[in-house]
Structures are given as structure tokens and as C-alpha cells.
Amino acid sequence: MSQMTKDLVEYLARLCRIACTEEEKAQLLLDMEKVLEHVRHLDIVPTQGVDECHHVLGVVNVEREDKVADCLEPTALLSNAPDTSDAFICVPPILRKHKS
Amino acid sequence: MHRLTAIELREQVRKGERSAEEVARYFLQRIAQHDGDVGAFLSVLEERVISQARAIDAKRARGESLGLLAGVPVAVKDNMHIEGEKTTCASRFLDNYRAPFWSTAVRLLEEQDALLIGKTNLDEFAMGSTTTLSAFHPTHNPWCLDCVSGGSSGGSAAAVAARMALIATGSDTGGSVRQPASLCGVVGFKPSYGRVSRFGLVAFGSSLDQIGPFAANVSDAALAMQIMGQHDPHDGTSLSLPPDDYFAHLDKGIQGWKVGVPWKFLETLQDPVHSVFKSSIKSLESLGAELVDIDLDILEHSVSVYYILAPAEASTNLSRFDGIRYGRRSTEAKTLDEVYDLSREEGFGYEVKKRIMLGTFVLSTGYQDAYYKKAQRVRRVVIEKYQKAFERCDIVAMPVSPGVAFPLADQCEGLEIYLQDLYTISCNLAGLPGISVPAGFSLEGKPIGLQLIGPQKHDVQVTRAAFAFEKAAKCSDRIPDRFQGKE
């Protein structure tokens, strides 16, 4: 049974923050359903009592003391920003201005 | 000069028989002559490499010792950083991005006096198996210029196949080093997960990605691994182990070894890959190995596991591309939200968007249990099946790809392409070392590789078996006629 719907594709595009065109959404609907139809076959693999694999090497997080060390220069890090002002990255307004 | 191995060329440079500058200019000339047909490179670092070569020559003139890769031309996949140079990931999103820091693996190569000659083409953000999904141009297979080079590290594989470089770096998330190596008739090695630092590699699937080398032969690939395979405190997943010594037992052979072959899983294999695989297995037997039938039937599900987990991880990793700090920012965006939505729409290709959307879906509420968590459990089963297999054998032999390089005009896409990864993906799921070694050719002269897979952290076992097989198969170090050239 098809799981992908037009509404679901629209919802996912909003979650992904990608302004897909209508043409793309129509193609994504078909292509994603093809992939999901294939991957759903995993249902037949018995996995009762099997733990999820969270790390392929089975390593765990370790902690260390905070150490002050050299980091990258801010100018280097800002050099790729599309628009800067001193040490700030400039962006368009978060909110549109409302006309009163 | 291009017919030399990397080790031979290094020795000539070390002894002063050739200058590094002479080498650099020679390979730059080869790129100028041949890359118009191949399209392996996205950028050629002409000024940089000449400057680097002169520095190496000056070192030798001062009597200083030269590094393990002195004067060897190395190409770098364009998803790994060289500080100050562009890293585009073959994406419009990053077509103006310059790396502010080094990829550790690449820096280690330069510290050994490698000549970093250029950045190579890839499928956009390493998502693909053909190198036709680059935003800029496809890469053509040097053995058949109408055919794909494989992917996603197709540019690196093709650069070595056409001897525009003697070593190249690639990244392998589901086969993206081994598969183009097989299709381009070169050696490609994916180390154990954590063996090579991922710092400075633009992430695709963080639990799957590994950097690995391409070379014309196993010894040169082993040399690159000797250099790159080091612990890196900048990478939290980097193995805290001393570097492997790839050369200590490289030529000791595989007499008495048990080679596991998952015959039932390989039932659907067809010619020409099938006949080359059968003769490869005979070669392994002639080297004194014993064949063992092993159960890896679970691998028929590996594509499904991968195409849930890899897009899930990619959807997270690519959320950093938001038009704010670097990369493309849409000129149409009037609000902050539009910066995100429009920049990503304009910057990403279709395949990248599809994988991000798929990944978001399998991680979303209501679907996560059925897809993502289920895939994580099956991944655990894959790991355990391999562990059981390695109780009965020292190495696993499999094909690399179900087919050979197909025509660019065929435009295979989507699921059909994903299924090409059937034999390579499980190595990444289980974090195992795997290598593709040239094993034969189809009737049309298209290369076919043999894949050898070892237990986790037993990378030297894999290169040792590969070295022995290479001597028997005699398919390494070959150059397509068109690129033979003269000295």
C-alpha cells in the first residue's frame, strides 16, 4: 500500500526546509514510494530481542577535562559567509514587517 | 613516468634522479592532455603543486630526508579539505566555498611530500554510484569513454586509471571507493571504520563514511594507508590504536588461509562478473587458500538497511547547509526562512533532495520505529552474521558490483542504481575493511574487480590477501590504450 502522499511530501519538504517545485514534488512522490516499497521488505527479517546498533565499533562516549587551546581564526571562519559586518554574519529579517 | 608505481617514482625523486618539479609539470601536462576526455578533475592546483614541488626539491638540496610520498602526484576527492582551496562536493551549494582548515588524512599525505595535484569529481555530496550526479559534469571511464566511471569517487578512480595521478583519495559510504575502483580497473581500499580520520571530510553518513585510497596496485594503496591510518583527536570516532604496519607481512601470502564465499547470496550473479569471480576464486585456491561456504544470506537486505540509515544520517548532516555561514545564499530570499528554503532548493541537486526527504521521513514521528529503528536492528544482525562467518574464515571474497561500467546514455537512476551497491554496502554497515583488486575484464574490455573483506580492524589481513591475489591475477598496473602515451 502506498505510504507517500502529496500532503506528506509537502510536509516533508517543509521539515527539510527545501522549497521544492511542484514538478519536483510530483517526481519525489513516485521515487520515494519506489524506495519505500523496497525497504519495507525489512519487515520479514526477524529482530525480536536484537538491540539497535548505535555504533558499529561499540565504543562509548568518553570525557576529558576542558582545555584552553587555539582554535580557528574567526576571520577564516567568516571568510565564506555570504554577508558579514565586522564579526557578525548578516541575514535578512526574521519576521516580515506588517503593514498597518 | 606515468607507468611507474608510486613507490618507484618516490625512490627516483628521493635519489635525485628526477626533481619533484619535473614530476609535477609532467602530470600537469597529462591532465591538460587527457582530462578533456575524462572529466576526472573539478580543479587543478597548478600554482600550488609547482610551489610544493619546489619546496620538496629545496628540502632535498639542503640534505633533508624526503617523505614517504616524495614527489608522488595525488588527487583528492572534492569533499575533502585542502586549506585555502575550494571544496565544492560537486554541488552548486558549495561552488564558491574555500576550506578554512585541512582534512587530517589529506594533510598527512602532504606532510609526506605528496604533490596534491587537483580535486576530483564526485556525485554531489558523495550520493551516487556513477559520478553523473555531479552538478558540473560527469566523469567518463578511461577504459570506455562512453561509460560511467562508477561513483561516487569516480573522478579519483578515473584519475588513477588514466594515470593523471598515481594515488587518489576517495570516500566510501556504501561502496564509493571500491565500486569505481572495480569499474575503472584500479585498486580501491575502504579501511575499517575509524581507521582514517573523517575530520575535514564533508560528512554524508557519519556512521558509514571512511576515506580510502585508489592506486594502480596494492602496494601503493598500502603506502597511502600507512600514512593516512592514524588516530586523530579531532575525530571522536577515530580508533585509538597505533598505525598498522601494512608492509610487515604484505608479501607473506595466504597459504592455509580460509576464504569464505557466501555462495547462496551470490546465486543471482551473472556473467561477465560471474565468470571473472569464479576464476578469481580458483586463483585464491591456487595460492593455497581453502574455500569455505559461509552464510551471509542476510546481505540481501543490506540495500534496504542502507537506504534507510544513510539518508537518515544525510538529512541531519546536510542541515548545516542553510545559506547562513557558508555556501550559496539565494538572492531571492527576503526573510530568514526564505534563506533556508530557497538556498537549499537552488543549491541541491534532485538526488540530494530525495535522500534528505527520505531520511527525514524515516526519522519522523510515526515512522521511526518501523523504518529507522528496524534498520538499526537489522544492521546489528548483519554485524553478527559477519562475526560468525569470520569464526570460520580469515577473509571473505565477493564481487564488487553486479555489472561492469554501463553507457552514460543509459541514464539508470533511483532504485536501479541503488541495487548496484548490493555487494559493497554491508562492509560499511559492519565497519569492516574491504578492497577491490583488478581481477579481469569483460569481453568488451571493461574492468571487473574482486572484493576481499576482513574482520574489523584487520586491515593488514585484507591488503596481504589482496597483494597475493594481485600477483596471481596480473590485472593491476594496466593502463587503457588511449592513455598509454610515451615517456
Amino acid in position B437: V
List, in sequence order, every beta strand (DSSP E) within B21-68.
Answer: 41-44
Q: Compute the distance between CA of residue B434 and CA of residue B384 in angstroms, rounded to an integer.
A: 17
Among the residue ranges A6-10, A52-56, B178-182, B360-364, the one predicted with the least confidence is A52-56
Q: Across residues B394-414, what is the average pLDDT?
A: 91
What's the pLDDT score for residue A63?
Answer: 84
Residue B85, pLDDT > 80, answer: yes
How near does any CA of chain B get to the CA of A98, in Å? 13
Contact flag B319-A91 (C-beta cutoff 8 Å)? no
The pLDDT of residue A94: 81
Inter-residue contact B385 to B298 (CB < 8 Å) = yes
How many residues in total does chain A contain? 100
pLDDT computed for residue A2 by the predictor: 72
Which is catalytic among the residues B103, B152, B182, B197?
B152
User: Is residue B400 within 8 Å of B424, Cβ to Cβ?
Assistant: yes
Half-sphere exposure of residue A13: CA atoms within 13 angstroms, side-chain side: 24
Block residue for cell numbers 610520498: B69
Write out chain B residues lying below 8 Å of A85, CB-based.
none
Residue A98 is predicted with a pLDDT of 53
User: If you average pLDDT over residues B56-68, what whole number do you get?
Assistant: 97
- Which pLDDT does position A62 carry in this prediction? 78
Above 90 in pLDDT, residue A36?
yes
Q: If you average pLDDT over residues A51-60, what whole number do you get?
A: 85
Q: How does pLDDT run across B150-167, given as a tens digit for each residue?
A: 999 999 999 999 999 999
pLDDT given at position B457: 95
Strand (E) or helix (H) holding A58: none
Q: Is pLDDT of A100 > 50?
A: no
Helix, coil or strand: residue B244: coil
For residue A97, the model assigns a pLDDT of: 61
User: Looking at residues A18-39, what average pLDDT do you find?
Assistant: 95
* Amino acid symbol at B132: T
User: Does residue B336 surpass a pLDDT of 50?
Assistant: yes
Give the pLDDT band (50/70/90) at residue B415: confident
- A2 contacts in B (CB within 8 Å)? none
- For residues B266-284, average pLDDT: 96
**Backbone angles phi and psi of B137, in degrees to 5:** -165, 160
Of A12, A24, A82, the CB nearest to B361: A12
The x, y and z cell numbers of residue B281, run together, are 576464486
Residue A95 has pLDDT above 80, yes or no: no
Output the CA–CA distances (angstroms, integers) from residue A72 to B39, B103, B198, B368, in the order listed.
34, 14, 18, 37
Contact residues, A window 23-82, toward B, CB-based 8 Å cutoff: 24, 27-28, 31-32, 34-36, 38-39, 41-43, 45, 47, 50-57, 59, 72, 76-77, 79-82
Residue B431: which of A57, A72, A76 has the nearest Cβ? A57
What are the two backbone dihedrals, phi and then psi, of residue A28, each rounded to the nearest 5 degrees? -60, -40
Q: Look up the ipTM and state it.
A: 0.92
Respond yes or no: is residue B197 known to be catalytic: no
What does the pLDDT look like over B443-470, one tens digit per residue? 999 999 999 999 999 999 999 999 999 9
Say what angle helices B6-14 and B20-38 make with each other, to 10 degrees.
Answer: 150
What pLDDT does residue A72 have?
85
Residues contacting B400, CB < 8 A, separation 6+: B175, B178, B179, B181, B182, B423, B424, B436, B448, B449, B450, B451
Q: Which residues of B touch A32 (CB under 8 A)?
A: 354, 357-358, 361
Residues above pLDDT 90, as percent of chain B: 96
Nearest CA in chain B to A9: B357
Asked if B176 is an active-site residue, the reply is: yes
pTM of the model: 0.96
The answer to whether the CB atoms of B326 and A91 lie below 8 A apart is no
